[in-house]
Structure 1
Amino acid sequence: MIGIFRIGIPVAISGIVCFSMKKPLLNDSKRDFYADNTGDIAPGNPLKESSELEKLMLIKNAPKQSVLEKCTRITRIYLDKAFSALRKTYIEQTDKYFRNERQTMRTLSSLHDKQETLWPNTLYILTGILTGVVFTRRSNFIFKGIVPIACGITAYAIFMPSTFKRSSGYILGLEKNRLPRVYSKQAELAFSTEELIKKSQKLKEENIKRVNSYYDRTRKSIGEAAGLTVDASISDKKA
């Protein structure tokens, strides 16, 4: 009996203390019973573990792609990139072509002298080219290529001189900027040719002077040998 009191009294005292320390339930009518309590999930919460487990199960149960599906996917991606690159290149080249075309038309318009009409003068230039073709119909292929072009350029310079001058200046300027070495060599060749022409003319004049001097000396020598006065004027014969 004494043992029962020894055990029961401490147990009863412990129960009374725990019951008195427990927080009483309040009738709080403002409590939100439908609030989402998953916002502040503590580590190790069963809700978080279950969501991660569901994700792993979805990944594990996802259907695996076959080799054909992988090859089809890779081929589709490659073709899409190739078509995109081809489309980009086409747009860039088309834009470049139209820009060059507009630049060419503006350049040709600036070179043409409006006072020189195109229709009859172009016909004359074509006639010059065809004349060169007719002249070289029995010649070799070199003359067949050079002579018609030379005749056409000559007709161009004759019938459209102002436009020809502008075109020549533009071509020389373009060659000077794009091909400076070729332009310098052509300038040296033109200068050498001009100097050679000048020397040839000078030599021709000197040769003419020498021939005239030799002729005069020979005539005087013949006159002195024959006893005639070569420089005297010839008098009229008496009747």
Structure 2
Amino acid sequence: MSRALFTFACVTSAVAAQSIAKSPVQNESKRRFYENEQQVVPLPGTVTPSTPAEAELLGPRSLVNGVTVRSAAPLESAFRSVRTVAALHNKREDLFPNSIYIIIAGLSGNILARNRNIVSRAVYPVALGVAAFSYFLPQTFRNTRDFVWAAEQRALPEVAKQQVAAFEQANGFVHLVEETAASSQQKVHSGLESLRRSISKITGLNIDEEVLKK
């Protein structure tokens, strides 16, 4: 067994020595661990241009107080969203305890619609919450409403046009009802005045004077 292992070791050593003898030996004065050392460690002061992928990752350049600043697009989007939401709040209106009142109103709507259908469960909390929002934070509610309306016009212009048309139609219907009610009231008043005159002419009584005497 030991003789077989010795024979195998000798054969392996001979094969390794033969392969080393065939490969050329390079005598270099300086060892090189990288193929191109200039690409690995650039010289100080060397300006390396960024690739398009790196430039896109860093974001566009902007000049702030004479200094070029780069910021990533996701970071800019996050800060822009925070500034937009913060601008909706009117500084004259206190978030506390008004926001707590709004939450309580929404929870009250949920309690009221507890034994009703699924539509009522969805509508009641939202309706009461929006009503409380408009009552306790009126200016913030207007700012939020205008922001949502502008966002809807940008994202869903067709839906916004349909809403404008529906609002104008409803507004026209309200004006029509008001005009009809005013016209009906005027007709009733004219009819009563004509009836009073007819009674006065037939009976010879002055109804206004009789009422004043009483």
TM category (shorter chain) comes to: 0.5 to 0.7
**Which whole-Å deviations, capped at 9, do the CAs of 1:109-155 have from their partners, x for residues lacking one?**
12122222222011110122123233333432222211221111111
In structure 2, give the amino acid aligned to 1:231: D
- Alignment match of 2:207 (pick from 230, 233, 238): 230
Greater helix content: 1
Structure 2 CA distance for partners of 1:186 and 1:234, relative to 1, 3 Å: closer
- Alignment match of 2:81 (pick from 104, 111, 120): 104
Are residue 213 (structure 1) and residue 193 (structure 2) matched?
A: no
Tell me, in whole angstroms, the C-alpha distance in 1 between the residues paired with 2:200 and 2:108: 56
Are residue 147 (structure 1) and residue 129 (structure 2) matched?
A: no
Shift of 1:166: 1.0
- Alignment match of 1:135 (pick from 112, 117, 123): 112
Are residue 192 (structure 1) and residue 172 (structure 2) matched?
A: no
Structure 2 CA distance for partners of 1:138 and 1:211, relative to 1, 3 Å: farther
Tell me, in whole angstroms, the C-alpha distance in 2 between the residues paired with 1:138 and 1:220: 59
**Which whole-Å deviations, capped at 9, do the CAs of 1:85-107 have from their partners, x for residues lacking one?**
xxxxxx9xxx8876654443222
**Which whole-Å deviations, capped at 9, do the CAs of 1:164-184 have from their partners, x for residues lacking one?**
111111111111111111111
* Corresponding pairs, count: 146
Question: SS of the residue aligned with 1:231?
Answer: helix
Larger Cα-atom Rg: 1
Superposed CA RMSD in Å reads 2.7
Question: Normalized against structure 2, the TM-score is what?
Answer: 0.59
Tell me, in whole angstroms, the C-alpha distance in 2 between the residues paired with 1:175 and 1:235: 62
Structure 2 CA distance for partners of 1:128 and 1:221, relative to 1, 3 Å: same
Structure 2 CA distance for partners of 1:140 and 1:226, relative to 1, 3 Å: farther
- Relative to structure 2, which stretch is displaced further, 96-105 or 155-164? 96-105
Tell me, in whole angstroms, the C-alpha distance in 1 between the residues paired with 2:102 and 2:212: 60
Question: Normalized against structure 1, the TM-score is what?
Answer: 0.53
Shift of 1:235: 6.0
Tell me, in whole angstroms, the C-alpha distance in 1 between the residues paired with 2:100 and 2:144: 18
Tell me, in whole angstroms, the C-alpha distance in 2 between the residues paired with 1:214 and 1:224: 15
**Which whole-Å deviations, capped at 9, do the CAs of 1:18-53 have from their partners, x for residues lacking one?**
xxxxxxxxxxxxxxxxxxxxxxxxxxxxxxxxxxxx
Question: SS of the residue aligned with 1:117?
Answer: coil
Unaligned runs of 5+ in 1: 1-53, 56-90
